[in-house]
């Protein structure tokens, strides 16, 4: 039967992109070449005994009835495009082939989805998302990232009408170039004098506040800058209302924290939003930022109640200034571990963003820095954790078996992160855990070449790859030469390093991964634009989808289970209305997900 099944499946296979086959570097020139397609096909399809691996023998299928069958469509596999896929009662893929091959697995209790030409793909992974914060902030005073000062003030004024006197107004996300003028506390005082106001920028690292918020924070003319933060001041030394890095985070803590019911509601909303776009697995990049251990309890409860369908990895915040509290959270992490919840990651913030605020750590001075300035932070940005301390932390967490995800936007912080990972490998050996250099806006070529050997992963933010106000700010701050090398995904892949994508939602307006897939290829705004941003970093569509599927799965250590559609793997897959490989490239962002299936269970239907 195995040989007969093989003959049928080979005839039915159609040409098309092979999701799950990695592009690898094989030449010293740095150019990409593909492993022999015939060798790959043999590796995926044939075992040492000649049995088909990618397609279950008919005899085996006849012995077990499928729980779910999807047929009559386009099923993307590492070996090509097939018609149908069958899933067993354990939620594992039991067969892939044409409709005739799958037919023997269909029984009286089998649920059948008629695809009618639609496409099945592996589920997508978001490797850097702040889903709980997104749910909380969905109820805030929000406005578009291209909002002008006038637009922001109108939004704040409208929100003030719905708030009691003294009640906080929280919102975002602003971009300084789009505002049209320097934001000050006086702007916000003019529309909300009796309410404390705090507005986040699009990077999530800077805050624009009013006088009431400054008063409650205790920020005055003689207040020193907090550790790892800056209170911007005018010519007279008075706070302007612009707070950078930890100076703003300390104000955030004055805002009443969400209660347990609000945490649960926010999480449920965000999880459903992600399911609607086909996200079956994700990494929560900053767990504990809202309510500490109560957040971990919310994740565990979501898993226990069935609200959480996806496979979630939690990166727990760790800050040197709060080491005792951070360590306590880590010590309790496994109390909240579940089948779908893995609190096995630590988040460190090494710097800010390479915009006009100069908070990202750079190896060379910012292009718009005052050449007469003697302030290193003003000219080169801020490394929030010095190298020796960072190295000790990464060594420690690596020895504990924890993934470390380090926010590193500037080339100085990227180098510091790689130095720490390299030291951890030398001290501990390689234990299989991959550590992430998150965002990686700017990376020196010599540092790109280091990552693969030490098992470092570059976590990139493709939603920001298009022309946008934040990128105008980057252009001004670092100059066009460096800005045009931002998020160098092409060069990073060429080194053979593992590159994974993350939305950074809600720093960006939508968690829609199809926007990221499209802009990673076009480097234009969704739907296309005359202008591009850092076009040298563009990749192919097949590579972009691989980043969101098999490569991301490797980054989480789950590639034996997810990331591609193969017999024996978990049935984490999505049904999309149109094949993204068959539509115009600039329509990919509009891809509609009809069903999201996780472990063989339909978690979302449109």
- Average pLDDT, 10 consecutive residues per value, the chain (606 residues): 33 64 39 31 32 47 84 97 98 97 96 98 98 91 89 94 93 86 94 95 87 94 89 93 89 90 96 98 92 95 98 96 94 98 98 90 93 81 96 98 98 98 97 96 97 97 85 91 94 97 92 97 96 95 98 97 98 98 98 98 98
Does 291 share its domain with 344? yes
Does 404 share its domain with 341? yes
pLDDT for 154 equals 94
Query: 584 lies in a domain?
Result: no
Expressed as residue numbers, the domain containing 79 is: 2-122+592-605
Longest dimension (CA), the chain: 85
Contact criterion met (CB below 8 Å) for 304 and 338 = yes
d(CA 199, CA 449): 39
Nearest to 158 by CA among 147, 521, 72, 294: 147
From the CB of residue 346, how many other CB atoms can be counted at a distance below 10 Å? 27
Does 109 share its domain with 6? yes
Does 367 share its domain with 248? no
**Could you tell me which residues are beta bridge partners of residue 125?**
281
Nearest to 380 by CA among 317, 446, 435, 442: 442
Query: 275 lies in a domain?
Result: yes
Does 289 share its domain with 188? no
* pTM of the shown model: 0.85
Does 68 share its domain with 177? no
Does 488 share its domain with 428? yes
Contact criterion met (CB below 8 Å) for 409 and 471 = no
Query: 257 lies in a domain?
Result: no
> What crossing angle do the helices spanning 323-331 and 293-305 adopt, rounded to 10°?
20
Among the three residues 223, 252, 281, which one is the final residue of a domain in this structure?
252
Among the three residues 201, 226, 252, which one is the final residue of a domain in this structure?
252
CATH code at position 269? 3.20.20.140
Six-digit token string for 98 = 């044409």
**Could you tell me which residues are beta bridge partners of residue 404?**
346
DSSP codes, 345-371:
EEEEE----SSTT--S--SS--TTS-T
Among the three residues 252, 281, 313, which one is the final residue of a domain in this structure?
252
Give the total number of structural domains in the chain. 3
Does 87 share its domain with 140? no
CATH code at position 176? 3.10.310.70
pLDDT for 34 equals 30
pLDDT for 39 equals 31
Does 55 share its domain with 149? no
Query: 587 lies in a domain?
Result: no
pLDDT for 561 equals 98
Query: 482 lies in a domain?
Result: yes
d(CA 269, CA 142): 17
Starting at the edge strand that comes first in sequence, how are the strands of the sheet with 456-460 ordered?
Answer: 124-129, 279-287, 311-317, 341-349, 403-408, 435-439, 456-460, 498-501
Contact criterion met (CB below 8 Å) for 121 and 588 = no
pLDDT for 56 equals 53
Does 230 share its domain with 303? no
Does 328 share its domain with 372? yes
DSSP codes, 196-236:
-EEEEETTSSEEEE-HHHHHHHT--TTPPPPTTEEEEE-TT
d(CA 583, CA 121): 15
Query: 571 lies in a domain?
Result: no
Tally of CA atoms within 13 A in the half-sphere of 282 that contains its CB? 30
Query: 146 lies in a domain?
Result: yes
Query: 294 lies in a domain?
Result: yes
CATH code at position 103? 2.30.40.10
Does 117 share its domain with 136? no
Q: What angle do CA 380, 367, 416 make, to 5 degrees?
A: 30
pLDDT for 104 equals 95
pLDDT for 15 equals 61
Sign of CA dihedral 487, 493, 498, 503: positive
Give yes or no for a cis peptide into 281 (omega within 30° of 0): no
pLDDT for 57 equals 52
d(CA 65, CA 103): 10
């Amino acid at each position: 039967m195995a040989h007969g099944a093989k003959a049928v499946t080979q005839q039915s296979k159609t040409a098309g992109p092979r999701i799950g086959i990695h592009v690898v570097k094989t030449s010293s020139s740095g150019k990409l070449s593909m492993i022999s397609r015939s060798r790959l096909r043999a590796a995926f399809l044939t075992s040492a005994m000649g049995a088909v691996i990618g397609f279950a023998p008919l005899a085996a299928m006849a012995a077990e009835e499928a729980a779910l069958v999807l047929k009559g469509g386009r099923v993307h596999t590492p070996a090509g495009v097939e018609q149908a896929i069958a899933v067993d009662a354990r939620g594992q893929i039991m067969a892939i082939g044409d409709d005739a091959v799958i037919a023997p697995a269909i029984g009286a209790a089998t649920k059948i989805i008629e695809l009618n030409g639609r496409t099945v793909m592996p589920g997508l992974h978001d490797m850097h998302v702040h889903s709980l914060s997104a749910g909380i902030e969905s109820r805030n005073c929000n406005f578009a990232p291209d909002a002008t000062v006038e637009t922001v003030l109108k939004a704040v004024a409208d929100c003030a009408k719905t708030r009691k006197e003294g009640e906080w107004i929280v919102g975002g996300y602003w971009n300084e170039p789009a505002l049209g003028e320097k934001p000050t506390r006086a702007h916000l005082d003019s529309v909300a004098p009796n309410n404390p106001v705090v507005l986040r920028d699009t990077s999530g690292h800077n805050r624009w506040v009013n006088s009431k918020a400054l008063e409650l924070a205790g920020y005055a003319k003689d207040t020193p800058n907090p550790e790892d933060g800056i209170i911007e001041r005018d010519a007279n030394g008075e706070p302007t209302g612009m707070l950078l890095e930890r100076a703003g985070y300390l104000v955030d803590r004055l805002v009443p924290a969400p209660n347990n019911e609000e945490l649960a509601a926010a999480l449920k909303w965000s999880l459903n939003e992600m399911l609607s776009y086909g996200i079956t697995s994700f990494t929560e990049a900053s767990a504990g930022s809202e309510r500490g251990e109560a957040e971990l309890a919310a994740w565990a409860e979501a898993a226990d109640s069935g609200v959480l369908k996806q496979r979630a990895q939690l990166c727990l915040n760790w800050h040197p200034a709060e080491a005792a509290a951070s360590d306590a959270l880590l010590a309790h992490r496994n109390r909240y571990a579940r089948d779908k919840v893995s609190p096995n990651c630590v988040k460190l913030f090494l710097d800010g963003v390479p915009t006009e605020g100069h908070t990202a750590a750079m190896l060379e001075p910012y292009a718009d820095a005052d050449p007469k300035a003697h302030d290193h932070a003003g000219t080169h940005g801020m490394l929030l954790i010095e190298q020796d301390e960072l190295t000790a932390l990464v060594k420690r967490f690596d020895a504990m078996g924890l993934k470390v995800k380090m926010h590193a936007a500037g080339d100085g912080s990227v180098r510091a992160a790689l130095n720490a990972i390299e030291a951890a490998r030398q001290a501990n050996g390689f234990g299989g855990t991959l550590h992430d250099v998150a965002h990686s806006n700017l990376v020196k070529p010599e540092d790109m070449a280091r990552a693969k050997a030490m098992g470092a992963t570059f976590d990139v933010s493709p939603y920001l790859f298009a022309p946008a106000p934040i990128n105008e700010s980057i252009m001004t701050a670092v100059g066009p030469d460096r800005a045009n090398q931002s998020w160098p995904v092409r060069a990073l892949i060429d080194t053979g390093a593992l590159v994974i994508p993350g939305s950074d939602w809600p720093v960006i307006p939508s968690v829609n991964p199809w926007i990221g897939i499209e802009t990673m290829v076009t480097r234009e705004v969704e739907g296309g634009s005359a202008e591009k941003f850092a076009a040298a970093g563009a990749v192919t569509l097949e590579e972009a989808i691989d980043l969101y599927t098999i490569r991301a799965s490797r980054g989480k250590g789950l590639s034996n289970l997810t990331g591609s559609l193969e017999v024996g793997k978990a049935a984490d897959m999505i049904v999309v209305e149109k094949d993204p490989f068959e539509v115009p490239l600039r329509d990919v962002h509009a891809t509609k997900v009809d069903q999201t299936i996780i472990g063989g269970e339909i978690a979302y239907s449109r």
